Amino acid sequence: MNYVSTRNNDVKVSSAYAIAHGISVEGGLYVPEGIPTLSKNDFLKLAELDYKSKAEFILKKYLTDFTDEEIKNCVNGAYTDSFDDEKPAAIAQLGDKINILELWHGPTCAFKDLALQLLPYLLTTSTKKVTDGKKTVILVATSGDTGKAALEGFKNVENTEIIVFYPSEGVSPMQKLQMDSQKGNNVHVCAIKGNFDDAQSGVKKIFTDNVIKETLAKNGMEFSSANSINWGRLVPQIIYYVSAYCDMLNKGDDLSNGFNVVVPTGNFGNILAAYYAKEMGVPVNKLICASNANRVLTDFINTGVYDRNREFYTTMSPSMDILISSNLERMLYILSDGDDKYIANIQSQLATDGKFTVNSTVLSKLQNLFYGACCDDEGTLKTIKNTFDKYGYLCDTHTAVAVNAYEQYLASTGDNRPVVIASTASPYKFAKSVLSALTNDIPNSEFDTVDALSELTHTAVPAPLAELKNATVRFKDIYDKNDMYAAVCNCLEIK
């Protein structure tokens, strides 16, 4: 299986190359040339296997330049002992039809662990194949969860350094503490004055700057990315949609008309993985794309106009506070039947005008696959309360946006097939917001809030968050958004 760049079909590389480099030289994203399909029998067999064996099976279809043994080692490294009960993707059922796919039982309590526990293994295996022993420098722009999950995944991984940039005012106190207290001898954390899009644009700029690249090469280093623009981030996410389908088969759910999937969306990585699972043969009907007040994707799905020239809101679901949704590029590439010139053109419009409009063919395909809905903070709080009152189930702010979008979908279409709602974070990562949905009595300190939430809802605080109470802050630097390259040089001790 080869990978092509969304902006130049002549660029054809192996999966190891795509993972080691993250992004193509002209700025395009790597996509697999085709999507492997599984038979009914394959799924029945998979349904009998544990998560790790499922992961091996799926990865072999996409990483054809890896040996079976390499894949096995990667999977074992990632998914042994790092998730509660070795169940990285458990389902909680609400009522008859609603399956909450809990993707936050890993070390950082957000769904990004599913990919970022695996990525360092995929990456180090890849760099051994395609680069000559250079040290890999991972640059990450984060709206909160990616940063911590990447730091946990890469900490103390040999021959790597990781530098994480986050918007100083754009993450929750728990997320900030998680990152600022990160342990490990190769980790660097920098807050910037700006929002997530500033951090992401800054990282992209550093990545594609040839002078910077040469400076790094002179120092025996090379950049790579742990953001979801890296294929190595996306491919692990396909596994849990297959796993959810298998679990539903095993429960005996009526899937004769398939099921819907709802994903709280920011950079479009998670929902794109659900699309890949659908194309592989998982009977997904509609992909419901849930946004918060930063409703750029809802508007895009409804109108075909992508317009980032709008007010940016800092919401209580910060991991979705995004106006440039990077992985959408991959989806549009697929929907335009691999038209690289078309994609290069609309991406350049996005870069210069902050805006593009897709043609009617692409729009109708998009609307066939996706339904877009959004809700603001007020809707988020109401949904947390209603879901807790109705089912005794406590969800975080991001998951609540998804539940709210699902309710809108149900009300407007009446389509009540079974549904899988991706639950992307533990409610304790956003304890203050979640508690404020249930009571007006909010303690001052973050950890008192966590305890109050636990007492009120009779739910357990995940151990990795409880342990933060005694953590020491290691990183305190705040950089101007225009000084990100200087920050990189500082961290790496190069000039």
Ligand X SMILES: *Cc1c(COP(=O)(O)O)cnc(C)c1O
The site for ligand X (CB under 6 A) is made up of 110, 112, 145, 228, 264-270, 319-320, 398, 424-425
Q: Could you tell me the sign of the dihedral formed by the alpha carbons of 394, 260, 375, 358, in that order?
A: positive
Output 21 or 112, the one with its CB closest to ligand X.
Answer: 112
| Smallest separation, CB 260 to ligand X (Å) | 17
- Which residue in 12, 60, 97, 112 is the catalytic one? 112
| Smallest separation, CB 177 to ligand X (Å) | 16
Output 14 or 148, the one with its CB closest to ligand X.
Answer: 148
| Smallest separation, CB 163 to ligand X (Å) | 19
- Provide the residue type at 489 as one letter: C
| Smallest separation, CB 143 to ligand X (Å) | 7
Output 112 or 188, the one with its CB closest to ligand X.
Answer: 112
| Smallest separation, CB 272 to ligand X (Å) | 8
Question: Encoding tokens for residue 6?
Answer: 């969304």
Output 231 or 268, the one with its CB closest to ligand X.
Answer: 268
Q: Could you tell me the sign of the dihedral formed by the alpha carbons of 108, 113, 118, 122, in that order?
A: negative
Q: Cβ of 268: how many Cβ atoms within 10 Å?
A: 21
d(CA 418, CA 329): 29
Output 35 or 271, the one with its CB closest to ligand X.
Answer: 271
| Smallest separation, CB 419 to ligand X (Å) | 17
Output 17 or 165, the one with its CB closest to ligand X.
Answer: 165
Output 24 or 265, the one with its CB closest to ligand X.
Answer: 265
Would you call 429 a catalytic residue per the annotation? Answer: no
Place of tokens 């419009």: 349
- Provide the residue type at 338 as one letter: G
Nearby residues of 479 by Cβ (< 8 Å), 6 or more positions away: 165, 190, 191, 192, 193, 486, 487
Output 124 or 228, the one with its CB closest to ligand X.
Answer: 228
Each residue of 96-115: b (16+ CB within 10 Å) or e? Answer: eebbbbbbbbbbbbbbbbbb
- Asked if 336 contacts 9 with a C-beta cutoff of 8 angstroms, the reply is no
Active site residues: 112
